[in-house]
Chain A
Amino acid sequence: MANYNLKTPLTEEVVAKLKAGDSCLISGIIYSARDAAHKKLVEAIEKREKLPFDLKGAVIYYVGPCPAKPGYPIGPCGPTTSERMDPYTPFLLARGVKGVIGKGNRTQEVVQALKEHKGVYFAAIGGVAALLAKRVKSYKVIAYEDLGPEAVSEMVVEDFPVIVVNDIYGNDLYEEGVKKYRK
Protein backbone atom coordinates (compact mmCIF):
# COMPACT_ATOMS: atom_id res chain seq x y z
CA MET A 1 0.00 0.00 0.00
CA ALA A 2 1.67 3.13 -1.28
CA ASN A 3 1.32 6.84 -0.59
CA TYR A 4 0.83 9.33 -3.42
CA ASN A 5 0.53 13.07 -3.85
CA LEU A 6 -1.90 13.69 -6.69
CA LYS A 7 -2.56 16.82 -8.73
CA THR A 8 -5.87 17.38 -10.50
CA PRO A 9 -6.98 16.96 -13.24
CA LEU A 10 -5.95 13.29 -13.16
CA THR A 11 -4.35 11.62 -16.15
CA GLU A 12 -4.71 8.01 -17.28
CA GLU A 13 -1.04 7.49 -16.48
CA VAL A 14 -1.48 8.55 -12.84
CA VAL A 15 -4.69 6.60 -12.40
CA ALA A 16 -2.95 3.44 -13.65
CA LYS A 17 -0.49 3.60 -10.72
CA LEU A 18 -3.15 3.61 -8.03
CA LYS A 19 -4.18 0.40 -6.26
CA ALA A 20 -6.92 -0.31 -3.74
CA GLY A 21 -5.64 0.55 -0.25
CA ASP A 22 -3.25 3.30 -1.35
CA SER A 23 -3.38 6.56 0.60
CA CYS A 24 -3.40 9.73 -1.48
CA LEU A 25 -3.24 13.45 -0.83
CA ILE A 26 -5.07 15.36 -3.55
CA SER A 27 -4.24 18.95 -4.47
CA GLY A 28 -5.86 21.21 -7.04
CA ILE A 29 -9.43 21.80 -8.16
CA ILE A 30 -12.16 19.26 -7.39
CA TYR A 31 -15.89 19.64 -8.00
CA SER A 32 -18.63 18.95 -5.49
CA ALA A 33 -21.83 17.23 -6.62
CA ARG A 34 -24.43 15.08 -4.86
CA ASP A 35 -27.29 13.09 -6.38
CA ALA A 36 -29.56 16.06 -7.16
CA ALA A 37 -26.67 17.75 -9.01
CA HIS A 38 -25.71 14.49 -10.77
CA LYS A 39 -29.25 14.24 -12.12
CA LYS A 40 -28.96 17.77 -13.54
CA LEU A 41 -25.47 17.12 -14.97
CA VAL A 42 -26.64 13.99 -16.79
CA GLU A 43 -29.72 15.81 -18.12
CA ALA A 44 -27.50 18.67 -19.34
CA ILE A 45 -25.24 16.21 -21.18
CA GLU A 46 -28.22 14.49 -22.79
CA LYS A 47 -29.56 17.85 -23.96
CA ARG A 48 -26.08 18.80 -25.21
CA GLU A 49 -26.02 21.85 -22.96
CA LYS A 50 -22.83 23.47 -21.71
CA LEU A 51 -21.62 21.87 -18.47
CA PRO A 52 -20.52 23.88 -15.42
CA PHE A 53 -17.06 22.28 -15.55
CA ASP A 54 -14.84 20.25 -17.89
CA LEU A 55 -15.27 16.54 -17.22
CA LYS A 56 -11.90 15.55 -18.72
CA GLY A 57 -9.70 14.23 -15.91
CA ALA A 58 -12.07 15.78 -13.36
CA VAL A 59 -12.41 14.64 -9.77
CA ILE A 60 -15.92 14.84 -8.29
CA TYR A 61 -16.43 14.94 -4.54
CA TYR A 62 -19.76 13.78 -3.13
CA VAL A 63 -20.25 16.47 -0.52
CA GLY A 64 -22.78 18.95 0.76
CA PRO A 65 -20.86 21.23 3.13
CA CYS A 66 -22.15 23.18 6.08
CA PRO A 67 -22.33 26.96 5.61
CA ALA A 68 -18.96 28.62 6.24
CA LYS A 69 -18.52 30.53 9.47
CA PRO A 70 -17.14 34.05 9.03
CA GLY A 71 -13.41 33.84 8.33
CA TYR A 72 -13.56 30.26 7.01
CA PRO A 73 -13.45 29.38 3.28
CA ILE A 74 -15.91 26.50 3.79
CA GLY A 75 -17.90 24.77 6.51
CA PRO A 76 -17.26 21.17 7.59
CA CYS A 77 -17.27 19.01 4.47
CA GLY A 78 -17.00 15.24 4.81
CA PRO A 79 -18.15 12.73 2.19
CA THR A 80 -21.74 11.60 1.74
CA THR A 81 -22.79 8.02 0.93
CA SER A 82 -21.81 7.22 -2.65
CA GLU A 83 -24.53 4.69 -3.52
CA ARG A 84 -26.97 7.49 -4.31
CA MET A 85 -24.71 8.53 -7.19
CA ASP A 86 -24.39 4.96 -8.57
CA PRO A 87 -27.01 5.38 -11.33
CA TYR A 88 -25.12 8.37 -12.76
CA THR A 89 -21.44 7.50 -12.21
CA PRO A 90 -20.85 5.18 -15.24
CA PHE A 91 -22.28 7.87 -17.52
CA LEU A 92 -19.84 10.50 -16.20
CA LEU A 93 -16.86 8.12 -16.24
CA ALA A 94 -17.58 7.40 -19.90
CA ARG A 95 -17.29 11.14 -20.52
CA GLY A 96 -13.89 11.68 -18.96
CA VAL A 97 -14.28 11.87 -15.17
CA LYS A 98 -11.22 10.15 -13.66
CA GLY A 99 -11.85 10.23 -9.94
CA VAL A 100 -14.80 10.27 -7.56
CA ILE A 101 -14.60 10.76 -3.80
CA GLY A 102 -17.28 9.53 -1.39
CA LYS A 103 -17.85 6.82 1.18
CA GLY A 104 -19.46 3.40 1.14
CA ASN A 105 -19.98 0.56 -1.26
CA ARG A 106 -20.63 0.93 -5.02
CA THR A 107 -22.65 -1.26 -7.36
CA GLN A 108 -21.03 -3.77 -9.72
CA GLU A 109 -21.98 -1.43 -12.61
CA VAL A 110 -19.82 1.32 -11.12
CA VAL A 111 -16.92 -1.05 -10.38
CA GLN A 112 -17.06 -2.28 -14.00
CA ALA A 113 -17.27 1.27 -15.37
CA LEU A 114 -14.19 2.24 -13.33
CA LYS A 115 -12.30 -0.61 -14.99
CA GLU A 116 -13.60 0.09 -18.46
CA HIS A 117 -13.10 3.87 -18.47
CA LYS A 118 -10.01 3.88 -16.23
CA GLY A 119 -11.30 5.80 -13.24
CA VAL A 120 -10.74 5.50 -9.49
CA TYR A 121 -13.14 5.53 -6.56
CA PHE A 122 -11.62 7.16 -3.50
CA ALA A 123 -13.06 7.23 0.01
CA ALA A 124 -12.65 10.12 2.39
CA ILE A 125 -13.25 9.41 6.08
CA GLY A 126 -16.90 9.98 6.90
CA GLY A 127 -17.81 12.03 9.95
CA VAL A 128 -14.53 13.92 10.30
CA ALA A 129 -15.81 16.94 8.46
CA ALA A 130 -14.24 19.70 10.59
CA LEU A 131 -10.80 18.20 10.03
CA LEU A 132 -11.29 17.72 6.28
CA ALA A 133 -12.41 21.35 5.90
CA LYS A 134 -8.90 22.42 6.94
CA ARG A 135 -7.61 21.03 3.62
CA VAL A 136 -9.99 23.14 1.53
CA LYS A 137 -8.56 26.50 0.52
CA SER A 138 -11.50 27.91 -1.42
CA TYR A 139 -15.11 27.07 -2.23
CA LYS A 140 -17.19 28.66 -4.97
CA VAL A 141 -20.66 27.61 -6.09
CA ILE A 142 -20.58 27.39 -9.90
CA ALA A 143 -23.98 25.86 -10.77
CA TYR A 144 -27.43 24.88 -9.51
CA GLU A 145 -27.39 27.35 -6.62
CA ASP A 146 -31.07 26.58 -6.01
CA LEU A 147 -30.01 23.18 -4.63
CA GLY A 148 -28.60 24.87 -1.51
CA PRO A 149 -26.00 22.59 0.13
CA GLU A 150 -26.33 20.29 -2.90
CA ALA A 151 -25.15 22.91 -5.44
CA VAL A 152 -22.16 22.19 -7.70
CA SER A 153 -19.03 23.96 -6.50
CA GLU A 154 -15.41 24.35 -7.40
CA MET A 155 -13.18 23.55 -4.44
CA VAL A 156 -9.45 24.18 -4.31
CA VAL A 157 -7.93 21.56 -2.02
CA GLU A 158 -4.44 21.05 -0.66
CA ASP A 159 -3.32 17.60 0.50
CA PHE A 160 -6.89 16.37 0.80
CA PRO A 161 -6.61 12.86 2.31
CA VAL A 162 -8.34 9.96 0.54
CA ILE A 163 -7.94 6.19 0.25
CA VAL A 164 -8.27 4.20 -2.98
CA VAL A 165 -11.23 1.80 -2.71
CA ASN A 166 -11.78 0.68 -6.31
CA ASP A 167 -8.90 0.86 -8.81
CA ILE A 168 -8.87 0.28 -12.58
CA TYR A 169 -7.87 -3.36 -12.05
CA GLY A 170 -11.10 -4.37 -10.32
CA ASN A 171 -9.69 -4.50 -6.77
CA ASP A 172 -12.02 -3.48 -3.95
CA LEU A 173 -10.66 -2.38 -0.57
CA TYR A 174 -14.01 -2.88 1.18
CA GLU A 175 -14.20 -6.51 0.02
CA GLU A 176 -10.57 -7.32 0.74
CA GLY A 177 -10.49 -5.55 4.10
CA VAL A 178 -13.60 -7.23 5.43
CA LYS A 179 -12.43 -10.66 4.23
CA LYS A 180 -9.19 -10.22 6.13
CA TYR A 181 -10.82 -9.42 9.48
CA ARG A 182 -13.99 -11.52 9.34
CA LYS A 183 -14.15 -14.25 12.01
Chain B
Amino acid sequence: MREIEDKKIVEEVSRLCIEANCILGEDVKKAVRSAISQEESPLGKEILQTILNNAEIAEKEMLPICQDTGITVVFVELGADVKIKGSLEEAINEGVRKGYKEGYLRKSVVSCPLRRKNTGDNTPAIIYTRIVSGDRLKIIVMPKGGGSENMSEVKMLTPAAGVEGVKRYVIDRVARSGANPCPPIIVGVGIGGTMEMCALQAKKALLREIGSSHPDPFYDNLERELLVAINNLGIGPQGFGGRTTALSVFISSFPCHIASLPVAVNINCHAARHKEVIL
Protein backbone atom coordinates (compact mmCIF):
# COMPACT_ATOMS: atom_id res chain seq x y z
CA MET B 1 0.00 0.00 0.00
CA ARG B 2 1.27 3.42 -0.94
CA GLU B 3 -0.07 6.36 1.02
CA ILE B 4 -0.88 9.74 -0.54
CA GLU B 5 -1.67 12.65 1.72
CA ASP B 6 -4.84 14.63 1.10
CA LYS B 7 -2.82 17.86 1.41
CA LYS B 8 -0.84 16.87 -1.68
CA ILE B 9 -4.08 16.36 -3.61
CA VAL B 10 -5.37 19.79 -2.53
CA GLU B 11 -2.17 21.46 -3.80
CA GLU B 12 -2.15 19.61 -7.11
CA VAL B 13 -5.84 20.17 -7.89
CA SER B 14 -5.48 23.86 -7.05
CA ARG B 15 -2.50 24.18 -9.39
CA LEU B 16 -4.26 22.25 -12.18
CA CYS B 17 -7.36 24.50 -11.92
CA ILE B 18 -5.23 27.62 -12.39
CA GLU B 19 -2.99 26.20 -15.13
CA ALA B 20 -5.87 24.68 -17.10
CA ASN B 21 -7.70 28.02 -17.09
CA CYS B 22 -4.72 30.22 -17.94
CA ILE B 23 -2.58 28.13 -20.29
CA LEU B 24 -4.15 27.03 -23.56
CA GLY B 25 -2.95 23.57 -24.64
CA GLU B 26 -0.30 23.39 -27.37
CA ASP B 27 -2.58 21.08 -29.36
CA VAL B 28 -5.30 23.75 -29.51
CA LYS B 29 -2.82 26.45 -30.50
CA LYS B 30 -1.38 24.24 -33.22
CA ALA B 31 -4.85 23.43 -34.58
CA VAL B 32 -5.88 27.09 -34.60
CA ARG B 33 -2.64 28.09 -36.37
CA SER B 34 -3.21 25.53 -39.07
CA ALA B 35 -6.89 26.57 -39.39
CA ILE B 36 -5.81 30.18 -40.13
CA SER B 37 -4.09 29.06 -43.34
CA GLN B 38 -7.18 27.13 -44.46
CA GLU B 39 -9.84 29.64 -43.45
CA GLU B 40 -11.46 31.41 -46.43
CA SER B 41 -13.32 34.11 -44.51
CA PRO B 42 -11.17 37.22 -43.77
CA LEU B 43 -13.16 37.87 -40.58
CA GLY B 44 -12.74 34.20 -39.67
CA LYS B 45 -8.96 34.46 -40.08
CA GLU B 46 -8.92 37.56 -37.92
CA ILE B 47 -10.89 35.81 -35.16
CA LEU B 48 -8.57 32.78 -35.17
CA GLN B 49 -5.57 35.10 -34.86
CA THR B 50 -7.31 36.91 -31.97
CA ILE B 51 -7.74 33.57 -30.20
CA LEU B 52 -3.96 33.04 -30.38
CA ASN B 53 -3.23 36.60 -29.25
CA ASN B 54 -5.54 36.12 -26.28
CA ALA B 55 -3.84 32.86 -25.34
CA GLU B 56 -0.50 34.65 -25.34
CA ILE B 57 -1.72 37.42 -23.02
CA ALA B 58 -3.42 34.89 -20.73
CA GLU B 59 -0.32 32.74 -20.37
CA LYS B 60 2.06 35.66 -19.90
CA GLU B 61 -0.02 37.34 -17.22
CA MET B 62 -1.57 34.14 -15.84
CA LEU B 63 -5.09 35.37 -16.54
CA PRO B 64 -7.95 33.04 -17.44
CA ILE B 65 -8.34 32.55 -21.21
CA CYS B 66 -12.10 32.90 -20.84
CA GLN B 67 -14.13 34.54 -18.06
CA ASP B 68 -16.18 31.35 -17.89
CA THR B 69 -13.69 29.33 -15.89
CA GLY B 70 -16.24 26.56 -15.84
CA ILE B 71 -17.72 24.03 -13.53
CA THR B 72 -14.77 21.84 -12.55
CA VAL B 73 -15.00 18.32 -13.95
CA VAL B 74 -12.43 16.00 -12.41
CA PHE B 75 -11.55 12.51 -13.65
CA VAL B 76 -9.73 10.35 -11.13
CA GLU B 77 -7.99 7.04 -11.69
CA LEU B 78 -7.19 5.62 -8.30
CA GLY B 79 -4.76 2.72 -8.11
CA ALA B 80 -6.05 -0.15 -5.94
CA ASP B 81 -2.75 -0.11 -4.05
CA VAL B 82 -3.08 3.54 -3.04
CA LYS B 83 -4.37 4.57 0.34
CA ILE B 84 -5.51 8.19 0.60
CA LYS B 85 -4.87 9.83 3.94
CA GLY B 86 -8.15 11.72 4.47
CA SER B 87 -11.04 12.00 2.00
CA LEU B 88 -10.33 12.04 -1.74
CA GLU B 89 -13.49 13.97 -2.64
CA GLU B 90 -13.02 16.51 0.12
CA ALA B 91 -9.42 17.03 -0.95
CA ILE B 92 -10.47 17.61 -4.56
CA ASN B 93 -13.14 20.11 -3.54
CA GLU B 94 -10.67 21.87 -1.23
CA GLY B 95 -8.25 22.07 -4.17
CA VAL B 96 -10.96 23.61 -6.37
CA ARG B 97 -11.83 26.10 -3.61
CA LYS B 98 -8.17 27.10 -3.25
CA GLY B 99 -7.42 27.27 -6.98
CA TYR B 100 -10.47 29.33 -7.85
CA LYS B 101 -9.70 31.78 -5.04
CA GLU B 102 -5.96 32.13 -5.53
CA GLY B 103 -6.14 32.09 -9.32
CA TYR B 104 -8.84 34.80 -9.44
CA LEU B 105 -11.09 32.41 -11.35
CA ARG B 106 -14.82 33.03 -11.63
CA LYS B 107 -17.14 31.15 -9.30
CA SER B 108 -19.79 29.74 -11.60
CA VAL B 109 -21.64 27.12 -9.56
CA VAL B 110 -25.09 27.45 -7.95
CA SER B 111 -26.01 25.13 -5.09
CA CYS B 112 -29.56 24.40 -6.24
CA PRO B 113 -30.43 24.29 -9.94
CA LEU B 114 -33.83 25.90 -9.33
CA ARG B 115 -33.18 28.30 -6.44
CA ARG B 116 -29.83 29.32 -7.96
CA LYS B 117 -27.65 30.66 -5.17
CA ASN B 118 -23.93 30.84 -6.02
CA THR B 119 -21.86 28.58 -3.76
CA GLY B 120 -19.14 31.23 -3.84
CA ASP B 121 -16.19 28.87 -4.26
CA ASN B 122 -16.97 26.92 -7.44
CA THR B 123 -17.58 23.70 -5.51
CA PRO B 124 -18.75 21.03 -5.69
CA ALA B 125 -16.61 19.67 -8.48
CA ILE B 126 -18.12 17.00 -10.76
CA ILE B 127 -15.96 14.01 -9.84
CA TYR B 128 -15.70 10.67 -11.67
CA THR B 129 -13.56 8.07 -9.92
CA ARG B 130 -12.40 4.80 -11.41
CA ILE B 131 -10.45 2.20 -9.47
CA VAL B 132 -7.58 0.83 -11.58
CA SER B 133 -4.68 -1.51 -10.83
CA GLY B 134 -1.37 -0.16 -9.56
CA ASP B 135 -0.18 2.30 -6.94
CA ARG B 136 -0.65 5.58 -8.72
CA LEU B 137 -3.26 8.33 -8.61
CA LYS B 138 -4.11 10.16 -11.82
CA ILE B 139 -6.13 13.39 -11.66
CA ILE B 140 -7.44 15.20 -14.72
CA VAL B 141 -8.97 18.63 -14.18
CA MET B 142 -11.28 19.86 -16.92
CA PRO B 143 -12.96 23.24 -16.37
CA LYS B 144 -16.09 23.10 -18.55
CA GLY B 145 -17.78 26.24 -19.80
CA GLY B 146 -21.56 26.66 -19.72
CA GLY B 147 -22.07 28.03 -23.23
CA SER B 148 -20.79 24.93 -24.98
CA GLU B 149 -22.22 22.54 -22.38
CA ASN B 150 -25.68 24.00 -23.01
CA MET B 151 -25.44 22.94 -26.67
CA SER B 152 -24.83 19.30 -25.69
CA GLU B 153 -27.42 16.51 -25.80
CA VAL B 154 -28.13 12.78 -25.52
CA LYS B 155 -30.41 10.98 -27.95
CA MET B 156 -31.59 7.38 -27.76
CA LEU B 157 -31.60 6.19 -31.37
CA THR B 158 -32.77 2.73 -32.40
CA PRO B 159 -30.28 0.26 -33.89
CA ALA B 160 -31.97 0.63 -37.30
CA ALA B 161 -30.75 4.24 -37.44
CA GLY B 162 -27.23 2.84 -37.83
CA VAL B 163 -24.17 4.82 -38.73
CA GLU B 164 -26.15 7.14 -41.03
CA GLY B 165 -28.54 7.99 -38.21
CA VAL B 166 -25.65 8.76 -35.88
CA LYS B 167 -24.02 11.01 -38.47
CA ARG B 168 -27.26 12.87 -39.16
CA TYR B 169 -27.85 13.43 -35.46
CA VAL B 170 -24.33 14.69 -34.67
CA ILE B 171 -24.27 17.08 -37.65
CA ASP B 172 -27.75 18.35 -36.82
CA ARG B 173 -26.79 18.96 -33.18
CA VAL B 174 -23.80 21.07 -34.27
CA ALA B 175 -25.90 22.91 -36.89
CA ARG B 176 -28.51 23.80 -34.26
CA SER B 177 -25.78 25.11 -31.95
CA GLY B 178 -24.72 27.76 -34.47
CA ALA B 179 -22.66 30.54 -32.95
CA ASN B 180 -23.58 29.74 -29.32
CA PRO B 181 -20.77 27.38 -28.22
CA CYS B 182 -17.97 29.73 -29.42
CA PRO B 183 -16.76 27.99 -32.58
CA PRO B 184 -14.30 26.68 -33.58
CA ILE B 185 -15.45 23.86 -31.34
CA ILE B 186 -14.33 20.37 -30.41
CA VAL B 187 -17.06 17.78 -30.76
CA GLY B 188 -17.10 14.86 -28.32
CA VAL B 189 -19.36 12.03 -29.43
CA GLY B 190 -20.39 9.13 -27.21
CA ILE B 191 -21.92 6.13 -28.94
CA GLY B 192 -23.40 3.18 -27.05
CA GLY B 193 -23.52 2.28 -23.37
CA THR B 194 -26.57 3.30 -21.39
CA MET B 195 -27.98 6.83 -21.43
CA GLU B 196 -25.64 8.18 -18.73
CA MET B 197 -22.62 6.13 -19.84
CA CYS B 198 -23.04 7.47 -23.36
CA ALA B 199 -22.91 11.07 -22.07
CA LEU B 200 -19.82 10.25 -20.03
CA GLN B 201 -18.12 8.76 -23.10
CA ALA B 202 -18.80 11.99 -25.01
CA LYS B 203 -17.23 14.04 -22.21
CA LYS B 204 -14.20 11.75 -21.93
CA ALA B 205 -13.71 11.96 -25.70
CA LEU B 206 -13.02 15.69 -25.25
CA LEU B 207 -9.85 14.85 -23.33
CA ARG B 208 -8.11 13.56 -26.45
CA GLU B 209 -5.28 15.56 -28.02
CA ILE B 210 -6.63 17.78 -30.81
CA GLY B 211 -5.66 16.33 -34.16
CA SER B 212 -5.02 12.81 -32.80
CA SER B 213 -6.40 9.75 -34.61
CA HIS B 214 -8.79 7.14 -33.23
CA PRO B 215 -6.99 3.78 -32.83
CA ASP B 216 -9.87 1.93 -34.55
CA PRO B 217 -9.79 2.64 -38.32
CA PHE B 218 -13.61 2.40 -38.50
CA TYR B 219 -14.07 5.20 -35.97
CA ASP B 220 -11.08 7.12 -37.29
CA ASN B 221 -12.83 7.21 -40.65
CA LEU B 222 -16.14 8.23 -39.06
CA GLU B 223 -14.43 11.06 -37.14
CA ARG B 224 -12.90 12.38 -40.36
CA GLU B 225 -16.20 12.19 -42.25
CA LEU B 226 -18.00 14.03 -39.46
CA LEU B 227 -15.34 16.74 -39.30
CA VAL B 228 -15.65 17.42 -43.03
CA ALA B 229 -19.46 17.49 -42.85
CA ILE B 230 -19.43 19.80 -39.82
CA ASN B 231 -16.99 22.19 -41.43
CA ASN B 232 -19.15 22.20 -44.57
CA LEU B 233 -21.98 23.65 -42.48
CA GLY B 234 -20.24 27.02 -42.98
CA ILE B 235 -20.78 28.21 -39.39
CA GLY B 236 -17.12 29.25 -39.10
CA PRO B 237 -15.23 31.05 -36.32
CA GLN B 238 -17.74 32.58 -33.87
CA GLY B 239 -20.57 31.68 -36.25
CA PHE B 240 -19.89 34.57 -38.67
CA GLY B 241 -19.42 32.14 -41.56
CA GLY B 242 -16.29 30.30 -42.63
CA ARG B 243 -14.53 27.00 -43.07
CA THR B 244 -13.46 26.39 -39.47
CA THR B 245 -16.45 25.27 -37.41
CA ALA B 246 -14.74 22.42 -35.56
CA LEU B 247 -11.08 21.66 -34.88
CA SER B 248 -11.66 17.97 -34.14
CA VAL B 249 -14.38 15.34 -33.75
CA PHE B 250 -13.66 12.64 -31.16
CA ILE B 251 -15.72 9.48 -30.75
CA SER B 252 -15.76 7.20 -27.75
CA SER B 253 -17.88 4.06 -28.06
CA PHE B 254 -19.08 1.52 -25.53
CA PRO B 255 -20.96 -1.81 -25.77
CA CYS B 256 -24.72 -1.42 -25.48
CA HIS B 257 -28.05 -3.24 -25.18
CA ILE B 258 -29.34 -5.14 -28.23
CA ALA B 259 -32.31 -2.75 -28.39
CA SER B 260 -30.36 0.50 -28.02
CA LEU B 261 -28.19 2.95 -29.90
CA PRO B 262 -27.53 5.89 -27.60
CA VAL B 263 -25.65 8.89 -29.01
CA ALA B 264 -24.37 11.83 -27.03
CA VAL B 265 -22.81 15.04 -28.29
CA ASN B 266 -20.74 17.05 -25.84
CA ILE B 267 -19.44 20.27 -27.33
CA ASN B 268 -16.35 22.08 -26.15
CA CYS B 269 -15.46 25.66 -27.08
CA HIS B 270 -12.07 26.60 -28.56
CA ALA B 271 -10.90 27.20 -24.98
CA ALA B 272 -10.59 23.43 -24.64
CA ARG B 273 -9.04 23.19 -21.21
CA HIS B 274 -7.70 20.20 -19.30
CA LYS B 275 -4.56 19.45 -17.33
CA GLU B 276 -3.50 16.31 -15.54
CA VAL B 277 -1.08 14.96 -12.98
CA ILE B 278 0.03 11.49 -11.94
CA LEU B 279 0.95 11.05 -8.28
Contact = CB atoms under 8 A, between A and B. Distances in A.
Given A104-B147, A125-B238, A81 B180 contact: yes
A47 interface: no
B182 A103 contact: yes
Interface in A148-183: 148-150, 163, 173-174, 176-183
A24 B120 CA distance: 35
Which of B61, B105, B179, B242 counts the most A-chain CB atoms under 10 A from its CB? B179
Nearest to A128: B54
Nearest to B119: A148
B232 interface: yes
Contacts of A180: 41, 234, 241
A67 interface: yes
A75 B108 CA distance: 14
Interface residues of B, number: 47
B239 interface: yes
B105 A66 contact: yes
B105 A174 contact: no
B150 interface: yes
Given A127-B270, A131-B50, A181-B242, A103 B179 contact: yes
A7 interface: no
Contacts, number: 159
A131 B53 contact: yes
B240 A163 contact: yes
A106 to B, nearest CB: 10
A65 B67 contact: yes
A126 B108 CA distance: 17
B63 A130 contact: yes
A76 B64 contact: yes
Contact of B106 (A67, A69, A130, A173): A67
B65 A130 contact: yes
A182 B233 contact: yes
A130 B150 CA distance: 23
Interface string A66-101: 111100000111101101000000000000000000
Contacts of B107: 148-149
B106 A66 contact: yes
Contacts of B47: 125
A143 interface: no
A83 B178 CA distance: 12
B171 interface: no
B118 A67 contact: no
| Top 4 A-B residue pairs of the complex, sorted by shortest distance between their CB atoms | A177-B241, A181-B234, A182-B234, A128-B54
